[in-house]
Chains A and B, each alone.
Chain A
Amino acid sequence: MDSDEDLLDAYDGDSAEDYYYSGGDSDVDDYIAGGDEDEDDGGDCGYASDDDSTLRSEKVYTVLKVSDIQQRQEESISHVSSVLSISRVAACVLLCHYKWNVSQLHDEWFADEEKVRRTVGLLSRPVVQFPNAKELTCGICFESHPLDQIHSAVCGHPYCTTCWKGYITTSINDGPGCLLLRCPDPSCRASVGQDMILKLASDEDKEKYSRYFVRSYIEDKKKTKWCPAPGCENAVEFELGSNIYDVTCLCSHGFCWNCTEEAHRPVDCGTVSKWILKNSAESENMNWILANSKPCPKCKRPIEKNQGCMHMTCTPPCKFEFCWLCLGAWSDHGERTGGFYACNRYEAAKQEGLYDEAERRREMAKNSLERYTHYYERWASNQTSRQKAIADLHQMQTVHLEKLSDKLKEPESQLKFVIEAWQQIIECRRVLKWTYAYGYYLPEHEHAKKQLFEYLQGEAEAGLERLHQCAEKELLVFLGDDEPQADFKTFRPKLAGLTRVTRSYFENLVRALENGLSDVNTQPACSTSISSKNADGAGKGKGGKGKGSTSRSGRNAARDGDDDDHWNCDRCTYANPDSVSSCQMCHNER
């Protein structure tokens, strides 16, 4: 047990991350590592490691629950009412008019109070008075009413209770305009305070009114927006000026604050809307692709995809293992193809006469759809995988984790790494999905970029596949009824390690793609240029630019060479103990 915990501790520290994250020998690995250094002056808010992301969410955006909004409104009302020495009701009227912009309200109020009062209808005294009347004629129903049934705003225009109720309910049911309600007299337009509205409105209308009131705080402001998830009532306040818009609501919905589509880093908003438009234009052609089954490339029986990862196994007796995306044999994926998955490559899909599926596709290829089909299918597959992973995570959290904890006699807190793995898978599926939109719009003629892109994407695909498979299939063993306790000791560091490696890789991938793979044209991405950057980066790091600095210098240290008793796998960057000669993650030879 002791050694286990030590291991766990090691994974929690920065150092472990740095071991996993190390530059390989290849230029491209260095290139992608370089993306990190390039980033230092920009808003550094990738979905980073846990500590990074808390730092970021404080800085760049805040999720506001309804109660948070109400509290802020409360603060503004109290503040305005005390600074301007006016009632809270009047403060509400002013704040609604000024769209909760307290400083603009202050400025204009102190510049010309009378003008502000006139504009918003905040009268200081009545314009009509009936000092001796016992009865008054209501200006709406034209009936006479005793004074106790007559109400008026500050202006004094008399209307009876029934007519006021009708007036207020009509206005509330007309929409948020009720927040700026005025006296019914067309020449008067004195504001009708919240106190009067709440006194006369029905319970149902009062509730609607309060909802409009809360909404006004979000909708009238430039820097706040509602979370677009159905049924979610939270809002997100965004620090304008940051150019990275991905936010995650407390409801766990991740979306782009700028365009409110689902989160789509590393692709920009324009590309996303182009892509969505394209998808809807092509939806008819694409329907067959969304089908959840494909013929096994070997025995032609339809095989349903019910797992998140792309590694398919046909039902017995065939048991053929193949890749869902390219329908190639799974054995061709990985080491033997030179270290990256060919199935992300468009060119590969065009290979002649391998499978029926390819035939079918070639028919479609007579028109320009083929290229789009390639990207769309991969985009959609990752989306489906992601949905499945979300369901799996839920299942894990609600059912399996407890079971596992009982079985292994470990507290659930010690099994957090399983949850983290699933969260990472979900996030990576999202990123990977959008890289296919990115690839679709990458100009055909930029060969170097395209090549680099496909390499990076292939590596991402392979890495995520390893992680997904580990979390999905290897974990199954421990959920069964047997007692394979011993294996769990090796499973833990493996899954936790894969999670870290994959997270690191995807972070860098996102940054590199967001930079438009910009270095590819200006300079050859070679080891020397990267190492000079590293030195530079480490120097800046000392200045202490937030969290980034420590991990950066730490990484550099790790990259300097294989540390003491570890060696870093060239391919997947896993830090292996010196005692083994092939990588524990990917079986790559040292």
Chain B
Amino acid sequence: MANSNLPRRIIKETQRLLSEPAPGISASPSEENMRYFNVMILGPSQSPYEGGVFKLELFLPEEYPMAAPKVRFLTKIYHPNIDKLGRICLDILKDKWSPALQIRTVLLSIQALLSAPNPDDPLSENIAKHWKTNEAEAVETGELTAFLLALRHKKFPSSHSSLLFANFYS
């Protein structure tokens, strides 16, 4: 039902996401709802998250692209701009959203956020404090979390159906 009257823009974006995926990112629409995407982001190299695979969900609200997509981490992650529920503090998902941005640009920005956490704009106070006072330790803890939580993903190719992971995380 939700898939009828899907705007041309969403169809085009989806096609391009599938045909030319951005490096380290996969996004595929759910079969029941073409506005709901299962997303996987690889922890960027030379970041505390290197080697991790992070699962996210992305939803395009009715107003999209006038309103920003809703994105959330499903994999637990230790990051100053991401809270326990996986909500992300990122300007383009809020007041800096522009309809000229796309799903692809959003996901690339999230990937960049993993490479360069921003402790000055924290969503998770504790982690940010921790991060600021003892970066080395934080990096270690982040690494550990990423490692432990993402280890199991690594065994599967990232293009694999996300349903496989449902047993582990939900």
Contact = CB atoms under 8 A, between A and B. Distances in A.
A184 B9 contact: no
Interface stretch (B59-67, B127-135, B146-154, B157-165): B59-67
Given A166-B66, A170-B66, A186-B92, A141 B7 contact: yes
A185 to B, nearest CB: 5
Interface stretch (B20-28, B40-48, B98-106): B98-106
Interface string B51-92: 000000000000101110000000000000000000000001
B1 to A, nearest CB: 22
B61 to A, nearest CB: 12
Interface in A116-166: 139-143, 157, 159, 163, 166
A170 B100 contact: no
A141 B8 contact: yes
Interface in B1-17: 7-9, 12-13
Interface string B117-152: 000000000000000000000000000000000000
B9 A186 contact: no
B63 A170 contact: yes
Nearest to A188: B100
A140 B7 CA distance: 11
A163 B99 CA distance: 9
Contact of A142 (B8, B66, B95): B8
Contact of B66 (A167, A177, A186): A167
A219 to B, nearest CB: 18
Given A140-B65, A141-B7, A166-B66, A184 B99 contact: yes
Contacts of B95: 177
A76 B105 CA distance: 41
Contact of A140 (B67, B92, B99, B105): B99
Contacts of A159: 100
A186 B12 CA distance: 20
Nearest to A182: B98
Contacts of B12: 142
A185 B97 CA distance: 10
A142 B100 contact: no
A141 to B, nearest CB: 5
A142 B65 CA distance: 11
A158 to B, nearest CB: 11
Task: Choose among B9, B65, B67, B105 the residue with the greatest number of A CB atoms under 10 Å from its CB.
Answer: B65
Contacts of B105: 186
A27 B122 CA distance: 66
A186 B98 contact: yes
A49 to B, nearest CB: 53
Contacts, number: 36
A166 B99 contact: yes
Contact of A139 (B7, B67, B100): B100
B34 to A, nearest CB: 16
A177 B66 CA distance: 15
Interface in A164-183: 166-167, 170, 177
Contacts of A157: 100
B7 A184 contact: no
B99 A142 contact: no
A159 B65 CA distance: 13
A170 B67 contact: yes
Nearest to B13: A142
A157 B7 CA distance: 21
B165 to A, nearest CB: 32
A361 to B, nearest CB: 50
B101 A186 contact: yes
Given A140-B9, A141-B7, A184 B100 contact: yes
A140 B100 CA distance: 5
A184 B98 contact: yes
Nearest to A165: B66
A166 B101 CA distance: 15
A167 B8 contact: no
A177 B94 CA distance: 13
B20 to A, nearest CB: 15
A59 to B, nearest CB: 42
Contacts of B8: 141-143
Contacts of B67: 170
Interface string A334-372: 000000000000000000000000000000000000000
Contacts of A170: 63, 66-67
B9 A185 contact: no
Contacts of A166: 66, 99
Contacts of A140: 9, 65, 99-100
Contacts of A185: 98, 100
Nearest to B63: A170
Contacts of B101: 186
Given A170-B66, A186-B92, A142 B98 contact: no
Contacts of B98: 184-186
A362 B7 CA distance: 75
A141 B9 contact: yes
Task: Choose among B7, B67, B98 the residue with the greatest number of A CB atoms under 10 Å from its CB.
Answer: B98
Contacts of A142: 8-9, 12-13
Interface in A383-421: none
B9 A167 contact: no
Nearest to B12: A142
Contacts of A167: 66, 99
A166 B67 CA distance: 10
Interface string A520-551: 00000000000000000000000000000000
The 9 closest A-B pairs by CB, nearest first: A184-B100, A170-B66, A140-B99, A184-B98, A166-B66, A139-B100, A185-B100, A142-B9, A142-B12
29 contacts: A139-B100, A140-B9, A140-B65, A140-B99, A140-B100, A141-B8, A142-B8, A142-B9, A142-B12, A142-B13, A143-B8, A143-B9, A157-B100, A159-B100, A163-B99, A166-B66, A166-B99, A167-B66, A170-B63, A170-B66, A177-B95, A184-B99, A185-B98, A185-B100, A186-B92, A186-B98, A186-B100, A186-B101, A186-B105
Given A141-B7, A167-B99, A186-B100, 4 more contacts: A140-B65, A140-B99, A184-B100, A186-B101
